[in-house]
């Protein structure tokens, strides 16, 4: 019996990772390494209050500026991803993050700390549209939910390990933590630049040498009603999930629980994601995304809603289990939907707008929780989460009633890439007739067109 279960687990693990290109695994490795060094976001408040002696209000201001930086950079990073390419955008974003994080560790003046924290928020958030766009470029449509799930798993695995390790580092030296994150981020930048080719799809040109398809500007993205509806719902969902890190510790503290108690409750989130992300992904991979998003919205909203009835660590942990399951289902499904709704040559801009919804939620969530808890009590916050989850579920039901079949969408967009690759090969052959055979051989290699 035990042997059979071990064999089943091994087979399930092999099937979960099989069929994904090696480029994805380099990108996955960079995500894991980057999250292993995630020190600033985890310990910023403790660093400012305990090590520097600043007030909680100032720490909150700095955290808000860090989030505002992410909102500002999302749009610019999306445009860079489409115009300059995924690879140079990642190189610029990650090297800038490394230097700004290192600089933050040496700042002394409150104004300087706030300014550099804003810069760190900008640079660290700038890589996300490029990572998501590159993942969409290199992974087949039918494997994208699985790929995004594995990437999300890497994020949480890295975060879980770094949180524990960073705690010991912080006891020794906060500066060592900042410098360690800078080194980790720089390693990611070099890893991506050396190991991954550019994946931006090449454009089809007409006889006059102009792009056959018009550019996808930010205005076109903002006029895409269905996509902007998904972005709005993403903001609502993100507001709910953010309460696990801004509303929950405050509410537990008000009820007399300690920070260690909160740590025990929230640790359930990381443990469940690491343990269940892959098997749950196997279950949801080819299921209707509309139903998955509706169900995950309800689980998120009512998972937090149940917190109003929590009076012990065990019950708090139980509520964390409910909304963590929603998180496991929602994140890869929603990211895959964004890719599905994005035109091939506008993936960076679309991912930038989508990323901005989460950055904006990180900015609004602390204000929301603080206002409701101070004015009405924590029960109103959890009731509001239940309402928001219901609204999000209804929104997904309305938006996705007439969603076009994925096969048709992908056939259209992937056809553009194929035509572009053929056109590119034709130009090379015409310009270099003596080596036409060699050009044809190179063009026939898998992924040649996608690399550009």
First to last CA, the chain: 51
Residues 195 and 62 in one domain: yes
Maximum CA extent, the chain:
80
- The domain that contains 369 carries what CATH number? 1.20.1250.20
Per-residue pLDDT, averaged over 47-74, amounts to 80
pLDDT band with cut points at 50, 70 and 90 for residue 293? very high
Asked which of 133, 165, 200 is the last residue of a domain, the reply is 200
Count of all residues that appear for the chain in the document = 452
Residues 255 and 280 in one domain: yes
Q: Is the pLDDT of residue 253 over 60?
A: yes
Per-residue pLDDT, averaged over 259-283, amounts to 82
β partners of residue 211: 205
Query: What's phi and psi for 205, nearest 5 deg?
Result: -110, 145
Residues 140 and 163 in one domain: yes
Buried b (16+ CB within 10 A) or exposed e, 122-161: bbbbbbbbbbbbbbbbbbebebbbbbbbbbbbbbbbbbbb
* Sign of the torsion angle spanned by Cα atoms 173, 177, 178, 180: positive
| The most confident of 43-47, 232-236, 309-313, by mean pLDDT | 232-236
Dig out the tokens for 213 from the structure.
């398809």
Residues 44 and 149 in one domain: yes
Residues 234 and 353 in one domain: yes
Q: Given this model, what pLDDT does residue 301 score?
A: 96
Least confident range of 78-87, 165-174, 259-268, 376-385: 165-174
In three-state secondary structure terms, 211 is: strand
pLDDT band with cut points at 50, 70 and 90 for residue 166? low
Q: Given this model, what pLDDT does residue 434 score?
A: 38
Least confident range of 135-139, 159-163, 245-249, 406-410: 406-410
Task: Let me know if residue 137 belongs to a domain.
Answer: yes
Task: Let me know if residue 208 belongs to a domain.
Answer: no
pLDDT band with cut points at 50, 70 and 90 for residue 136? confident
Residues 266 and 361 in one domain: yes
Asked which of 200, 228, 246 is the last residue of a domain, the reply is 200
Q: Is 407 exposed, middle or buried (0-12, 13-18, 19+ CB in 10 A)?
A: exposed
pLDDT band with cut points at 50, 70 and 90 for residue 347? confident
Q: Given this model, what pLDDT does residue 322 score?
A: 95
Residues 395 and 427 in one domain: no
Q: Are 423 and 429 in contact (CB under 8 A)?
A: no
CA dist 51 and 357 (Å) reads 32
DSSP code of residue 205: B
pLDDT, tens digit, 9 for 90 and up, residues 174-222? 888 889 889 988 988 888 888 888 887 766 555 555 555 656 777 788 8
Residues 362 and 225 in one domain: yes
Task: Let me know if residue 179 belongs to a domain.
Answer: yes
β partners of residue 205: 211
Q: Is the pLDDT of residue 120 over 60?
A: yes
Alpha carbons within 13 angstroms on the beta-carbon side of residue 220 total 14
Q: Is the pLDDT of residue 247 over 80?
A: yes
Residues 301 and 418 in one domain: no
Task: Let me know if residue 41 belongs to a domain.
Answer: yes
Asked which of 403, 418, 436 is the last residue of a domain, the reply is 403
Dig out the tokens for 124 from the structure.
């660290």
Distance of CA 178 to the CA centre of its chain: 22
Residues 153 and 78 in one domain: yes
Q: Given this model, what pLDDT does residue 199 score?
A: 80
Q: How many domains does the chain have?
A: 3
Task: Let me know if residue 292 belongs to a domain.
Answer: yes
The residues, any chain, with a CB within 8 Å of residue 402's CB and separated by 6 or more, are none
Provide the domain limits for residue 41.
20-200
pLDDT, tens digit, 9 for 90 and up, residues 399-442? 887 665 554 444 444 443 433 333 333 333 333 333 333 333 33
Cα Rg of the chain, angstroms: 23
* Sign of the torsion angle spanned by Cα atoms 291, 286, 399, 269: positive
Residues 223 and 350 in one domain: yes
pLDDT, tens digit, 9 for 90 and up, residues 72-107? 888 788 888 888 888 899 899 999 999 999 999 899
Residues 416 and 373 in one domain: no
Q: Given this model, what pLDDT does residue 196 score?
A: 84
List C-alpha distances in Å: 270 to 3, 321, 327.
28, 10, 11
Q: Given this model, what pLDDT does residue 413 score?
A: 42
Q: Is the pLDDT of residue 230 over 70?
A: yes
Please state, for a pLDDT cut of 90, what percent of the chain lies above it. 19
In three-state secondary structure terms, 219 is: helix
Q: Given this model, what pLDDT does residue 411 score?
A: 43
Q: Is the pLDDT of residue 296 over 90?
A: yes
Q: Given this model, what pLDDT does residue 419 score?
A: 38
Distance of CA 145 to the CA centre of its chain: 13
Per-residue pLDDT, averaged over 99-117, amounts to 91
Task: Let me know if residue 97 belongs to a domain.
Answer: yes
How confident is the prediction for the chain on average, in pLDDT?
Answer: 78
Task: Let me know if residue 422 belongs to a domain.
Answer: yes
Task: Let me know if residue 11 belongs to a domain.
Answer: no
Per-residue pLDDT, averaged over 339-357, amounts to 85
CA dist 335 and 30 (Å) reads 19
């Amino acid at each position: 019996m035990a042997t059979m279960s071990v064999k089943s687990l091994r087979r399930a693990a092999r099937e979960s990772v099989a069929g994904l290109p090696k480029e994805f695994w380099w990108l996955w490795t960079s995500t894991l390494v980057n999250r292993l060094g995630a020190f600033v976001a985890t310990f910023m408040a403790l660093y400012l209050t305990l090590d520097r002696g600043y007030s909680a209000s100032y720490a909150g201001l700095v955290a808000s500026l860090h989030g505002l930086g992410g909102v500002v950079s999302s749009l610019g990073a999306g445009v860079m991803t489409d115009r300059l390419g995924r690879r140079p955008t990642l190189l610029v974003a990650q090297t800038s993050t490394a230097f700004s994080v290192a600089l933050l560790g040496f700042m002394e003046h409150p104004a300087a700390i706030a300014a550099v924290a804003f810069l760190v928020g900008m640079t660290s958030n700038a890589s996300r549209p490029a990572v998501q766009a590159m993942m969409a470029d290199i992974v087949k449509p039918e494997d994208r939910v699985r790929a995004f799930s594995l990437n999300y798993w890497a994020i949480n695995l890295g975060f879980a390990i770094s949180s524990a390790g960073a705690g010991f580092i912080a006891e020794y030296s906060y500066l060592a933590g900042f410098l360690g994150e800078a080194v980790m981020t720089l390693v990611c930048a070099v890893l991506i630049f050396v190991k991954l080719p550019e994946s931006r799809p090449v454009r089809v040109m007409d006889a006059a040498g102009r792009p056959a398809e018009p550019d996808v500007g930010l205005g076109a993205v903002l006029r895409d009603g269905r996509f902007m509806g998904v972005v709005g719902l993403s903001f609502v969902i993100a507001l709910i999930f953010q309460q696990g890190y801004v509303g929950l510790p405050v509410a537990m503290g008000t009820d007399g629980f300690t920070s260690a108690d909160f740590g025990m409750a929230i640790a359930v989130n990381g443990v469940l994601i690491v343990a269940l992300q892959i098997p749950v992904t196997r279950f949801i991979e080819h299921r209707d995304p509309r139903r998955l998003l509706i169900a995950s919205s309800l689980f998120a909203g009512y998972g937090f809603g149940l917190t109003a009835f929590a009076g012990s660590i065990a019950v708090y942990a139980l509520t964390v289990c409910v909304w963590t399951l929603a998180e496991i289902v929602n994140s890869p499904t929603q990211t895959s939907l964004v890719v599905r709704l994005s035109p091939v040559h506008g993936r960076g801009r679309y991912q930038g707008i989508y990323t901005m919804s989460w950055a904006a939620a990180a900015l609004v969530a602390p204000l929301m929780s603080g206002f409701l808890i101070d004015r009405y009590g924590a029960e109103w916050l959890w009731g509001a989460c239940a309402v928001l989850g219901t609204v999000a579920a209804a929104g997904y039901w309305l938006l996705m009633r007439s969603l076009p079949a994925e096969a048709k969408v992908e056939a259209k967009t992937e056809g553009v890439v194929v035509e572009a690759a053929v056109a590119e090969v034709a130009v090379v052959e015409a310009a270099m007739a003596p080596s036409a055979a060699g050009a044809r051989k190179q063009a026939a290699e898998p992924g040649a067109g996608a690399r550009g």
